[in-house]
Amino acid sequence: MNQTRLLYPLGVLLLLGAIPLDVLARIKLTTLPVRERVQIHLDHPQVALVEEERIVPLVKGVNQVDFSWANTRIDPDTLVLRILPPLGEPVLDAKVLSVSYPPNENALVWSVAASASGAARVRISYALGGLSKDFHYRAVADREEKTLELAQYLRVNNYANEAYDLAQFQTGVGAGFDKSLGLDETKEVQINRFANTPVRKTYTSDPVKFGYLDRAQDKLNVPMHYVIKNADGALGKAALPEGKARIFQDDGQGGSAFLGEDRGQFTPPDDELELYLGLARDIVVRRTIDRNERQRIAGNLYRYDVTVKYEIENFKDAPATLNIVESVRQIRDQVRGDPGRDPEWQLGDGTLRHPDPEKSDADQLLFHVDLPARSADGPAPKQTQTLRLTLNNEW
Amino acid sequence: MTLNRIVCFLCLLLPLALPARNVDLATVPERRTVQLTIYNSEDLTLVRESRIVTFKKGVNPLQFSWANTLIDPTSVELKFREPKTGLIMLDTTFPHDKPQTLYWNVQSDADREAIIEISYFTSGISWAADYLAVADPDEKTLRLESFVRVRNLSGEDYENAQVRLVVGTINLVEKIAELAKLPVGRVNELKREDYKDLRQRAARKMMAPAPAMEMAAGAMAYDAAEMDAPKEIIKEGLSEYFIYTIEGTETVPNGWAKRLRSFEADAVPMVVEYRYRPREYGDQLTRLYLLKNDAASKLGSTPLPDGVMQIFRANRSEGLSYLATQNLKYVPIGDKIELNLGVDRLVIFELVKQKIYRDNLWFQIKGGNLYRKLGEDGFKLELDSQVAGWDEHTVYRQKIRNYSPKPIHVQIRRDYAGDIVFRSRLNPTLHDFQTVQFEADIPVGEKAALDYEVIARLGYNQKQNRVELQNGEAGR
C-alpha cells in the first residue's frame, strides 16, 4: 500500500509502504502543499466557513492525508475534504476511503485512493471559531438634512489563531473582496456606499417607548431620528445588517460635525432604518388625559369616553413634523386599570382622526402633525391636538 | 503499536487444581479472527474472537485474562468451533488472587489442534452515524453522504477486526462499564439472578456468525489492490434491528476513531418549504429541506440512524456555503427527512393584530342561574348583573415578504385553546382539533397579506374546546 500524508498547518507528509497509523505518527516525510486559494464565507449569521484549495501530491494506491489544527478552533465535525475535478491532464481519479482520528490530537487522517500518481486538487472546508464579523455605518447628512451619504463597513476580527494570505471573503452583503488576514488582526473594509440617500428627520412623542421629560409638567420626551428607507436607488436591493452607525452632518465648511451614534437594527428592503440622534429640546409636547367619562351599558358593562390632549410648541425656526404615538391599551389602563383584556375602541371626533394605516394596528396609533416654524420675532405658536377614543365593552 | 492486553494462555504442566505457584510455563495462541458487533444505543460491544489451540488428551487448563480493559467478566464464553466434538469445557474458575483473569478446564479425548471461539461483552467501543448533505445551487436536489464513525476507548487494540454495527435499541439491566469494574463474585451478589440472561437475550440475535466471519486468513490479508474503492457497508435487516457490516476488516487502535462512508446518494430530489410551527420549531418561520428516505429518492436501502448532519449548499464556484448542523433522529425506510435550516432573513414574517371587538355579551342576573343576552328583548339595564360570557373577535393580518431569489411555499400552523371560530378566505384545514393550518405561495419580491379572524367564545359562551373553520371575510 502506498501512503501519502498531508500535514497541517499545512504540510503534506509523504510515506511509502504499508505502515499502520500509529507508526505513521512517528515517521514523517513531509511535503508542503501551499494553499492555492482560500475562501472565507461570512454569510452565515453565526458560523465562519473556511475553504482551502490545495494541490496534493498522490501516488497510485492508497494515500494517507493528515490534517491537524493545533491551537485553532476548527469544528472537526464540519471538516469536509472534496476532491475537485482536475484542471488539466493527466486525469487523476481519487476518492476518500475513510477518516481516522488519532487520540488526544486535533488531527485526522484521510485515507485517499488514487488511480494514478499525480497531483489532485482538493478543497478542505471547515467551520472556524474565533473568526467573527460585524458591520458599521457612517452617515453624513447634508446641511438641510434632506439627504445623506451612507457608507457601510465590514469588520472581520481574527482571533482564530490562524493567518490567511490573500483570502477571498464572501460576506453575503455587497461584493466579495480579497484581503490578507493576519493573526489577531482586525480588518475593516468598506463594502457599500450609498450617496444622496433621502433621509427624513423625525420628532416623536411616545409615552410608552420614550417616556416623559418632566412627568409633573406632563412634558414628553421628543427624540429625534434620521429615518432612511431601505428602498429605491442603490438601496432596497438587500437587507442592511445590524451595526453601529456614527452620524455626522456637513458643517458647510468642508468638514463635518459629529451628531451622535446609534445601533442600527437589521433592516430588510422596504423597511426603515431609524437612527436616534438625541432629544429635541425645541419642540415641547405636553400630554394630559383631558376627559374620562364612564357610561353604564348594563350591569357591570361600561363604555368610556377618553380624550387625550396634546399642547405642542415648536421653538425651532424651521417647520417640523411631529409623530404622535399612542398605545390604546396604555390609555385604557391609565383611566380604569388593566382588566386583562385587549381594549375594544373607536376613534372619536378629536383633531387626530387619521392614523398612519401602515404603522397603526389594534393597539398602537401613529399620527403625523405638521408644526410650523416659530416666527422670527414672536413666540412659538402653540397648537392643541386631541385624540378622542371610545372604549367599548369594558368591565 | 500497543500490545494486546487480552491474552489467552494454554497453561502447561498445571494440575487440575489451580496453581498457587510462582513458576509457570504457558503458550500464547494468537488471535486468528476477531469480530466486533457494536451497539449504538448502549455502551456495549460483543467481541467474538477465534484462536487455534493445541490440546493434549486429557484435561487442559486455559487461562484468559483482560487486564486494564472494560470487559464484563460474566459475559466471557468459550466455544469449540472445530472440531465440534471431542472437546468438553469442564468448568470455569475466577481466581481470587488474580483480577480480570479466568481459567477454563477443557477435556480433550485426543491430542489435537482446535479452533476455539471466545466471546465477551466490552464497553468503550462505540459507533455513531453522521451525515453530509450538500444541496445543489438551485436547491432542487442534494447529495447525501452517510458515514459511520467507530471509536475505540476500550483499552484494547483490535486489529483486522470484522466490524458489525447494530442500529436499534436493546435492553440492558446493567451497564457493562460498571460490571467490568467488579469481581465476578460481587457482581453476582449485586445483580438480579436473570440479569445475564436478559442482556444476552437482547443481544442474541446478533450472535449468529456473519458469513464473513469465516474469513480467517483470507479476509485478514485484505490487500492494497482492493482498497482503491471505499469499502462497502452491507446493510441487513434482522428482527427490529439493522446490522451494518463493514466490508473486509478494520484496525481500530485503542484511543482512535475511524470514519467510513456508509452510503452516498447523488441528486436526491427535495423541496424547500417554509414552516411556521411554533410547537416544533419555535416562534419563527423556519426554512426546511424536505426529502424522503425511499427508493424514488435514491435512498431507502436502510433506515438512517440517529446522527449529526452537516448541511451545505454548493455555490457556483466549486465552494460550499454552510447552512446548518442538525441532530437527525432515526428515520425509518420510507419516512420523511426534514432538514431544519433555521430562519431565512430574506423572508420577513410579521403578524399584525389589526382589530379587536366583542359581541354576544351574556349576563348572569343577580348571581343566580338566569342568564340574559345584551340587546335581547325585555332585557333591562340590570344593575346587579355581571358579564358572564362574550365572543372576542381578533382580526389578524399575516404579512410575508419574499426577498429571497426564489418563489417560496409557506405553511403556517397556529394553535388555539378553547372554543374558537377561525374565519378566513385562506382555505385552511385543521391539523388537529385546536390547530389551524393554511398555506401560501409567494413569488420572488412579492408580499402576501393573509387576513383571518379568530373568534374566541369565552366564559358562559364557551361550549366546546375545539376550533371551527368558517369561510368568510375577516373583520366585520
| Torsion from C-alpha of B252, B254, B258, B262, nearest 10 degrees | 60
Q: Return d(Cα A2, Cα B224) in angstroms, integer.
A: 8
Q: Return d(Cα A132, Cα A155) in angstroms, integer.
A: 8
Give the closest residue to B373 by CA, choosing from A215, B382, B148: B382
DSSP-derived letter for residue B202 is H
Cis peptide before A9 (omega within 30 of 0): yes
Residues 73-112 of A with CB under 8 A from B: 77-78, 80, 84, 95-104
Q: Which of B320, B345, B385 sits opposite A49 (nearest CB)?
A: B320
Q: Binning pLDDT at 50, 70 and 90, where does residue B233 land?
A: confident
Q: Return d(Cα B9, Cα B32) in angstroms, integer.
A: 14
A27 shares contact with chain B (CB less than 8 Å): no
- Which residues of chain B lie closer than 8 angstroms to A266, CB-CB? 345
| Amino acid, res. A100 | S
C-alpha cell at A153: 463597513
Domain ranges of chain A: 2-127, 283-394
A358 burial (CB, 10 Å; 0-12 / 13-18 / 19+) is exposed
Q: Return d(Cα A63, Cα B224) in angstroms, integer.
A: 11
A299 shares contact with chain B (CB less than 8 Å): yes
- Which residues of chain B lie closer than 8 angstroms to A77, CB-CB? 130, 308, 310, 325
Mean pLDDT of B351-378: 91
* CA distances, B77 to each of A101, A324, A350, B49, B91 (Å): 32, 85, 93, 11, 11
Coil, strand or helix at A333: helix
Q: Per the CB < 8 Å rule, is B230 touching A97?
A: yes
**Strand-pair partners of A63:** A112
Q: Return d(Cα A128, Cα A40) in angstroms, integer.
A: 10
Give the closest residue to A69 by CA, choosing from A114, A98, A107: A107
B230 shares contact with chain A (CB less than 8 Å): yes
- Which residues of chain B lie closer than 8 angstroms to A298, CB-CB? 363, 374, 379, 381-382, 385
Residues 111-130 of B with CB under 8 A from A: 130
Q: Per the CB < 8 Å rule, is A78 touching B352?
A: no
Q: Per the CB < 8 Å rule, is A80 touching B356?
A: no
Residue B259 scores a pLDDT above 80: yes
Q: Which of B231, B258, B361 sits opposite A100 (nearest CB)?
A: B258
In this predicted model, what pLDDT tens digit does every residue of B127-178 receive, in sequence order? 999 999 999 999 999 999 999 999 999 888 888 899 888 887 666 666 666 6
Q: Per the CB < 8 Å rule, is A298 touching B346?
A: no
Residue with cell 476518500: A96
Q: Per the CB < 8 Å rule, is A342 touching B394?
A: yes
Residue A76's φ and ψ, nearest 5 degrees, are -65, -25
Fold of A283-394: Immunoglobulin-like (2.60.40)
Q: Per the CB < 8 Å rule, is A298 touching B256?
A: no
Q: Return d(Cα B387, Cα A298) in angstroms, integer.
A: 9
Strands B466-471 and B429-432, how do they pair?
unpaired
Residue B88 scores a pLDDT above 60: yes
Which contiguous run of DSSP H or E holds residue B201?
A: helix B195-204
Q: Are B183 and B99 in contact (CB under 8 A)?
A: yes
Q: Per the CB < 8 Å rule, is A362 touching B353?
A: yes
C-alpha cell at B99: 483480577
Q: Is the pLDDT higher at B174 or at B252?
A: B252
- Which residues of chain A lie closer than 8 angstroms to B231, CB-CB? 97-98
Residue B183 scores a pLDDT above 80: no
pTM assigned to the model: 0.84
To test the contact with chain B by mutation, choose from A78, A82, A98 the residue with the greatest count of B C-beta atoms within 10 A, namely A98
- Which residues of chain B lie closer than 8 angstroms to A62, CB-CB? 224, 227-228
Chain B, nearest residue to A121 by Cα: B318
Chain B, nearest residue to A38 by Cα: B319
C-alpha cell at A90: 493527466
Q: Which pLDDT does position A174 carry in this prediction?
A: 81
C-alpha cell at A182: 493576519
A18 shares contact with chain B (CB less than 8 Å): yes
In CATH, what number does A2-127 get?
2.60.40
With a CB cutoff of 8 Å and minimum separation 6, the contacts of A298 are B363, B374, B379, B381, B382, B385
Q: Are B407 and A334 in contact (CB under 8 A)?
A: no
Q: Is the pLDDT higher at B311 or at B44?
A: B311
Residue A168: count of CB within 10 angstroms of its CB? 17
Q: Return d(Cα B160, Cα B35) in angstroms, integer.
A: 9
Sheet containing A94-101: which strands, arranged edge to edge?
A61-68, A107-114, A94-101, B257-269, B141-152, B125-135, B307-314, B320-328
Q: Per the CB < 8 Å rule, is A268 touching B374?
A: no
Q: Which residues of chain A have pLDDT under 70?
A: 1-32, 89-90
In this predicted model, what pLDDT tens digit does every residue of B389-437 receive, in sequence order? 999 999 999 999 999 999 999 999 999 999 999 999 999 999 999 999 9
- Which residues of chain B lie closer than 8 angstroms to A361, CB-CB? 352-354
Q: Return d(Cα A115, Cα A86) in angstroms, integer.
A: 13
A16 shares contact with chain B (CB less than 8 Å): no
Ramachandran class of B220: left when φ > 0, alpha when ψ lies in -120 to 50, beta otherwise? alpha
Q: Is the pLDDT higher at B186 or at A373?
A: A373
Q: Return d(Cα A202, Cα A146) in angstroms, integer.
A: 11
A180 shares contact with chain B (CB less than 8 Å): no
The nearest CA of chain B is from the CA of A31 a distance in Å of 22
User: Hey, CA dihedral for B36, A106, B319, A14, is it positive or negative?
Assistant: negative
* CA distances, A195 to each of A143, A265, A272, B425 (Å): 15, 20, 17, 44
Q: Per the CB < 8 Å rule, is B224 touching A18?
A: yes
Residues 251-280 of B with CB under 8 A from A: 251, 253-261
Q: Binning pLDDT at 50, 70 and 90, where does residue B186 land?
A: low
- Which residues of chain A lie closer than 8 angstroms to B312, CB-CB? 80, 125
Q: How many CB pairs under 8 A join A and B?
A: 162
B66 burial (CB, 10 Å; 0-12 / 13-18 / 19+) is buried
- Which residues of chain B lie closer than 8 angstroms to A237, CB-CB? none
Q: Return d(Cα B328, Cα B147) in angstroms, integer.
A: 13
Lowest mean pLDDT of B2-6, B96-100, B177-181, B391-395, name the range.
B2-6
To test the contact with chain B by mutation, choose from A41, A54, A62, A100 the residue with the greatest count of B C-beta atoms within 10 A, namely A100
DSSP-derived letter for residue B164 is E
In this predicted model, what pLDDT tens digit does every residue of B25-77 receive, in sequence order? 666 788 889 999 998 778 889 999 999 999 999 999 998 888 888 888 888 99
Q: Which pLDDT does position B476 carry in this prediction?
A: 66
C-alpha cell at B301: 436501502
- Which residues of chain B lie closer than 8 angstroms to A98, CB-CB? 230-231, 258-261
